[in-house]
Structure 1
Amino acid sequence: MAWTEILYDVKDHVATVTLNRPDRLNAWTRHMEGELRQAMEQAAADEAVRAIVITGAGRGFCAGADMNLLSGISSGEQQGGGAAGDDARANNGGDGLDANFNRRFSWMLRVPKPVFAAINGPIAGMGVCFSSFCDFRYVAEGAKFTTAFARRGLIAEHGVSWMLPRIVGLTNALDLLMSARTVEARELERLGFARLLPQEGFVDAVRAIARDLTTNASPRSIGVMKRQVYDAMFQNLDEAWEVADREMVASFSSEDFKEGVAHFVEKRAPAFTGR
């Protein structure tokens, strides 16, 4: 596929999606969002892919919504669009538990593979929103973060008011959202939003972490656990327990369970298939 606002490649079972508007610090557009969604769906369906890394081209990760879009909304030329107005269900259908995973970025929680945000540089607004719905976040030394919304006369959009407190805690989330202050990478790590890595070789280091995770642990187990954890946010203990009991029985007949036992007994590296 000919991508125009992202780059996509697969190596060593890791798909890398790169936001590719470096001249605008990868500011968010509706077209970029569509391409990101397509790339993620392609990676999810590809048996050769076990993990997904999202990063930015050039010196930025994502500077938030493109200011041309915001200016259009402010002047009345656009009605929300890529910023807020079209945040309807991301997929048609779905109710009950499934309805929670049909929104603009919440669908990422149902991607059956671990998703890593490799925050290589400045991140703001929309970038904070979608990275909050990644499973893991790593930040390069020197990168800067701001939620931005309150300083533009806006509010916490796209589920970030729900997700951010679950990552950094209620008081820290309120601080980051209400103040919209600029936060350095080291504080992001202290708050628990992202793990800090050196700037040099940053994206390769995140890819290596993703590759190590999905090589030494069963991709099938990872996919099931991911769904368990996010579904459990909307379940009571009894419901989550019932799901775990069913999934444990199902795992006993999987190829990865047989391999998990065999490589441990034989004292060798695992060769998981994800099945």
Structure 2
Amino acid sequence: MPVDTRTTLEHDDAPVRYDVTDQVATITFDRPDKLNALTVAMGDRLFALLRRADADPRVRAVVITGAGRAFSAGADLAMLAHTPVEGRDSLIVSPENGPAMIRSLRLPVIAAINGPAAGLAFAVSLAADVRFVAVDAKLSLPFSRLGLYSEYGSAWLLPRLIGAGAAADLLLSGRVFLGAEAGELGLAQRVLPAAEVLPAALDYARDLALNCSPDSLAMIRSMIDDAAVSPLAAHYAATVPVMRAGLRAFDFDEGVAARREKRAPQFHERVPGDTDRPASA
């Protein structure tokens, strides 16, 4: 597969960069002088770029990160302070851009939290599949300290990631905790020195893109989410038809052949959009 390198420069009013290399899309909050604090326009652009990546069959994984020394300080405080009461509904992420949208994507999403992450931006990372976090990154969900409520589905997502008690601690207190603790809680799957976070996340994403079936990745994401809300017996019964289809699909034959022949697999191209079964031969 040839290297595919494309770059989209950020919009002036929504500094979020989009790069595609080796079938991995990297979305970067690019406002380092403000610790990548998010504006409404930046949030809208983030969600538009996630949809763009999902619609591109050449993209097989997404990494979200921040420029400079921060992932994102969360919503821009100046924006919050200067938005009049009658306009504050615009600060709420619309349901169509909610965490269910990220979970509905047909490709894996990796958050590369290279530095401080707070509020909305950190809440968005909870909808990712895997989080790589800097060991000394300062993390927080400070909604209670701002007189707000849990944003972006964090009260639903966080307990499912680390358990109800640990989630209640972080959400009720709004306290700052470090990347090292995120690893201990199971919230971070990799805890690394800050300089290693993005390279490691990109290496991981490239491995998924090059060596894993796109259909398998999409289906496994869906299975994980279904398992979170379904009884085991019902979940297993629902997966049996999917597994039967998988055993008849091209990617299964190709995966077995590649393993036996000790070569890289050549799986089917990723199919954007909704599908309820693996691609057939």
| TM-score in same-fold range (> 0.5) | yes
Partner residue of 1:99?
Answer: none
- Matching residue of 1:223: 218
1:146 is matched with which residue? 140
SS of 1:200's equivalent?
helix
Rounded Cα–Cα distance in structure 1 between residues aligned with 2:86 and 2:37: 19
Could you tell me which of 182, 186, 200 is aligned with 2:176?
182
Matches within 5 A, 1:27-46: 27-46=37-56
Contact 2:160-2:228 within 8 A present in 1 as well: no
Deviations along 1:86-141, one digit per CA (max 9) or x if unpaired, are: x4431xxxxxxxxxxxx622210011111000001110110121000011111023
Q: Retained in 2: the 8 A contact 1:140–1:196?
A: yes
Of residues 250, 255, 267, the one that matches 2:250 is 255
1:3 counterpart residue number? 10
- Given the superposition, is the C-alpha separation of residues 88 and 31 from structure 1 closer, same or farther in structure 2, using an over 3 Å criterion? closer
CA displacement 1:120-165 (0-9 Å, x = unmatched): 1110110121000011111023211011111111121221011111
Mapped contact 1:50–1:113 kept (Cα < 8 A): yes
The residue number in structure 2 matching 1:98 is: none
Q: How far apart in 2 are the matches of 1:165 and 1:175?
A: 10
1:124-143 matched pairs, under 5 angstroms:
124-143=118-137
Task: For 1:186 and 1:268, locate their aligned partners in 2 and report how far apart those are by CA, in whole Å.
Answer: 37
Farther-moved stretch of structure 1 (261-270 vs 61-70): 261-270
Q: Tell me whether 246-255 or 156-165 shows the greater mean CA deviation.
A: 246-255
- Superposition CA RMSD, Å: 1.8
Structure 2 partner of 1:267? 262
How far has the Cα of 1:36 moved from its partner?
Answer: 0.9
CA contact (8 A) 1:125 1:148 kept: yes
Q: Tell me, yes or no, if the aligned pair for 2:103 and 2:127 is still in contact at 8 Å.
A: yes
Cα drift, residue 62 of structure 1: 1.1
Which residue of 2 is the match for residue 81 of structure 1?
90
**Correspondence for 2:108:** 114
1:235 and 2:230 aligned = yes
Preserved contact between residue 9 and residue 17 of structure 2 (Cα < 8 Å): no
Give the drift of 1:244. 0.8
Identity of aligned residues (%): 40
SS in 1 for 2:62: strand
**Whole-angstrom distance in 2 between the partners of 1:229 and 1:62:** 27
Q: Which residue of 1 aligns with 2:166?
A: 172
**Pick aligned residue for 1:204 from 199, 208, 214:** 199
Range 237-246 or range 222-231, more displaced: 237-246
Change (3 A) 1:223 1:69: same
Q: Give the TM-score normalised by the residue count of structure 1.
A: 0.88
Q: Report the residue type matching 1:273 in the other structure.
A: H
Report the Cα offset of residue 245 of structure 1. Answer: 1.2
Q: Distance in 1 between matches of 2:61 and 2:196?
A: 19
Is 1:69 the equivalent of 2:75? no
Q: Do the aligned partners of 2:139 and 2:178 also contact (CA within 8 Å) in 1? A: yes
* Structure 1 contact 26–63 (Cα < 8 Å) conserved: yes
Between stretches 248-257 and 112-121, larger displacement belongs to 248-257
Number of aligned positions between the proteins: 259
Please state how far the C-alpha of 1:169 moved relative to its aligned partner: 1.3
Q: TM-score, normalised by structure 2?
A: 0.86
Q: Secondary structure at the match of 1:15?
A: strand
Whole-angstrom CA distance in 2 between matches of 1:200 and 1:253: 43
Deviation of residue 69 (structure 1)? 2.7
Q: Deviations over 1:197-232 (max 9, x none)?
A: 222242121100111133232221111111111123
Q: Which amino acid aligns with 1:118?
A: A
2: CA distance, partners of 1:137 / 1:160 = 15
